[in-house]
A and B are shown apart, each in its own frame.
Chain A
Amino acid sequence: MTININRTEKLVAALPKGKLLKPTFDLLQKAGFTFNEADQKSRKLIIEDENRAMQALFVKPSDVPIYVEHGIADFGIVGKDSLVESCVDVFTPLELDFGQCNLAIAGFPEDQDRNWRLRSLVRVATKYPNITRVHFDKLGVQAEIISLHGSVELGVLAGLADVIVDIVETGTTLKENGLVVFDEILPAMAMFIVNKASHKLKLRQLDAVISAIANS
């Protein structure tokens, strides 16, 4: 694999599609980069800000760390849950004040009472296999990790798994399905991450963005 970095003098950002996108545009605006509304809502995959000083790539949230690690984007905004799960080697200078949630273990209330940790093997359904593996290793509990791509709660409801490891924001989905949080694993929020070579090659531009955000 060749690790490619973009070669423009412009900053290139990897922005997460979905609910982090709106606060991300607000944040970049505070740092002096305004993207017009039509572009923000269009189906284009790459857009430029009004001053043509920054390019933004729209990326699936869990892919943001990869785009940044390879230097295709100089920096990115991504949830800490996706960042930790991806195991990438990047700088993580800022935690941002949006996208707060918790990565938690959840299951049926009666399992919490029966102490699920005493099972010889715990079956865990999750979209976060790496974080889950590390966490259960730390607990010293043998786990069978079942990787799912959506609605992990169903894994427990349908009997595929004993517990789930997933993001909990308001807890509504869990409650409506009769599940409860057993344990919180990782408090998460949106993070500002930077490619290690970009940090040296576009030092001035990145420093300006980071300090504008840190002081906003």
Chain B
Amino acid sequence: MIDKQVKNPLRLPAGIKDYIFDEAENHRYVERGLTNLLQSKGYREIITPTFEYGEIFEIATKAGMIRNGLDEKVYRFLDRDGNLLALRADFTAQIARIAAARFADFESVIKIFYTGKVFRAEPHHEGRSREKWQVGFEIFNEATIEADAEAIINIIEALDYFKLSNFRIAIGHIGYFHGLVEESGLSGEERQVLRYLVERKDMAGIARLLAQTTTTAEVKKVLQNLPDLHGDIRILDKAKSMINNKKSLNALENLQKLWQKISLHPLAPNVFFDLSEVEGMGYYTGIMLKAFAPGVGTEIGSGGRYDQLTAVFGTEMPAIGFSFDVHLLASARLMQQE
């Protein structure tokens, strides 16, 4: 057995790293590239605290009202007065708190960015980072397709800045999925199972679940085909022809209008639609975004529209945000250069 009694002052907890010289420079280069780009576009910085009261991450999780597991990954500890504190587990939750507290009477658009680390208790055996370095931006007070388009253009320009050829941005819309499940009449528990199965594109699992439910043949057919509903703009017309519930149709029409706003950008062909992308933070209410780059086996950034999150802190403000993973972007840059 490996002796755990002997203290080793050189060891590090799993999922934590040191960045030395070249690697530190590469990470700072990515961080500065992103923050400079956002600053040049009129975004202003917010520096949030490293720890605060634990409730805000619970509130943010509950605002989603669906399973997503963030709440279970928060590092909590007590201060000397017995208050429950938490390390920053998510920037968006903090920014939503700040927006509700500070920007409640602002009517104009507010554009902000942030940089720093979030801390999440990922299972150690899987080798995932428990400290993630993120740079992100948020646009408040603009529930428009223009704001959604601006977010996507920001992502395109950032990835182009780092010369990542063949990057991909996948756009989904949670409203499409919500419309379908509402129409299906599935129970709350069945909806959660369905969402999990769709997240994993588990066609056999979806077929088994649908076989036990009483929803219409039409809805069953769409849900069964959901893992295949991805591709360029044409996929949206195909999806439209398969359904007639208002919520899903609205979502698809919004995506079509969004495409009109971004399609002229020379790198727009790197953007595509994936209606089976239902994974992510539970608080999203509209489009959901993920970015990918060759050489990295997971998304290098994610985000979306969350119009109700600030309401749980007392002020309703529509918002869209996106965050880049600095470490994965830095890795993608190195891969490209090799």
Contacts and interface: CB of A to CB of B under 8 A. Distances in A.
Interface of A: 1-5, 7, 69-72, 87-95, 194-201, 203, 207, 214
- Most chain A CB within a 10 A radius of its CB, from B168, B274, B298: B298
B183 interface: no
B295 A4 contact: yes
A203 B230 contact: yes
A91 B293 CA distance: 18
Contact of A70 (B274, B293, B297, B327): B297
Interface residues of B, number: 33
A200 B301 CA distance: 13
B296 A200 contact: no
Contact of B272 (A69, A195, A203): A203
Contact of B123 (A69, A87, A207): A87
Nearest to A74: B297
A93 B295 contact: no
B201 A197 contact: no
B202 A3 contact: no
Choose among A69, A92, A200 the residue with the greatest number of B CB atoms under 10 Å from its CB: A200
Contact of A3 (B170, B227, B328): B328
Given A92-B202, A93-B227, A198 B335 contact: no
A1 B128 contact: yes
B203 interface: yes
Contacts of B295: 4-5, 7
B201 A194 contact: yes
A95 B204 contact: yes
Interface in B291-314: 292-299
Interface of B: 123, 126-129, 166, 168, 170, 200-205, 227-228, 230-231, 272, 274, 290, 292-299, 327-328, 331, 335
B297 A94 contact: no
B168 A201 contact: yes
A91 B127 CA distance: 19
A150 to B, nearest CB: 20
A69 B298 CA distance: 8
Given A93-B202, A201-B293, 4 more contacts: A87-B123, A92-B205, A197-B299, A200-B290
A1 B127 contact: yes
Contact of B170 (A4, A93, A200): A200
Contacts of A214: 203
B201 A4 contact: no
B297 A197 contact: yes
18 contacts: A2-B327, A3-B296, A5-B297, A7-B335, A72-B297, A87-B123, A89-B298, A91-B202, A92-B200, A92-B205, A93-B203, A197-B297, A197-B299, A200-B274, A201-B294, A203-B168, A203-B231, A214-B203
Contacts of A4: 295-297, 331, 335
A90 to B, nearest CB: 8
